[in-house]
Amino acid sequence: MQSIDAIRARYREHRRDADLLLADLLGRSTSWLVAHGDQLVDESPIDAQMQRRIAGEPLQYIRGRCEFYGREFFVDDRVLIPRPETELLVEAVLRIAPRGARIVDVGAGSGCIGITLKLERDDLEVVAVDRSLAALAVARRNRDALGARLQLAASDVLSSTRMQFDLVVSNPPYIPAADVETLEVQVREHEPRMALTPGPRGTEVIDKLFAQAGRARVAMEIGFGQETDVRAVAEAHRFRVDEVLPDLAGIPRVVVSSGHHGGK
């Protein structure tokens, strides 16, 4: 047994992470830890978790949760960790989606995009697809926990779907394969590789999205420096880019497209 103060002192270089994990384990707030520093606790669980964190495992996986658009989503290493930038994609879709629109979220992962769209706009008919059955299990858990009424289905992009959609939404894998090794260890070694890179170019899934979108509008997240390539892919499939939205860092992050003359 050790005091809370002693445990926090031992992990002073990782204080924020240690406080969050310790608060989780004790079912208390981080401010409570400061006020009760002399209380004795079993240090074994926090030591085990902190060793995982120091080794590079993402805090979200260790905690088993991540906040997205004001809601808490369960996450583990079967899915990509939701990023704040992806909220920009959700905001764009909420703005442009007509009432009662049929939307498909391609590459559902944790389900954060599709679930959020349905909870924010119950008039929308939302289907979320992923080629990973493991990811769909996570999305199902989040759908049920948050009470969102949307369908989940296994599909490589839209190849297994027969519905016609008004809007195709996606945060696709877009990192060129050679660039994965340059990512932080917590991303490169822990997040699912198929959610990070689609292949050498980084636009392989984006190409499929435009090829299979039919008459639907397409809204997607893109990577740093990818705008020109995405515009070229869209044009090759007779789509025009209607708008490109920058993230808080000023990086082009969300592309909204539609087919020429209202369709392909």
CB 175 within 8 A of CB 222: no
Q: What is the 3-state secondary structure (H, E, C) of 117-169?
A: HHHHCCCCEEEEEECCHHHHHHHHHHHHHHCCCCEEEECCCCCCCCCCCCEEE
Residues of the chain with pLDDT under 50: 261-264
Structure tokens that stand for 93 in this block: 């879709």
Angle formed at CA 78 by CA 254 and CA 190, multiple of 5 degrees: 85
C-alpha to C-alpha distance for 93 and 253, rounded to whole angstroms? 14
Query: Position 109: which residue type?
Result: G
pLDDT score at 62: 97
Q: What is the DSSP letter of 33?
A: H
| Residue type at 135 in one-letter notation | A
**Complete domains list, the chain, with CATH:** 2-55 (no CATH), 80-262 (3.40.50.150)
Q: pLDDT, tens digit, for every residue of 2-48?
A: 999 999 999 999 999 999 999 999 999 999 999 999 999 999 999 99
Contact 88, 68 (CB under 8 A): no
> pTM, whole model, 2 decimals?
0.92
**93-112 pLDDT, tens digit each:** 999 999 999 999 999 999 99
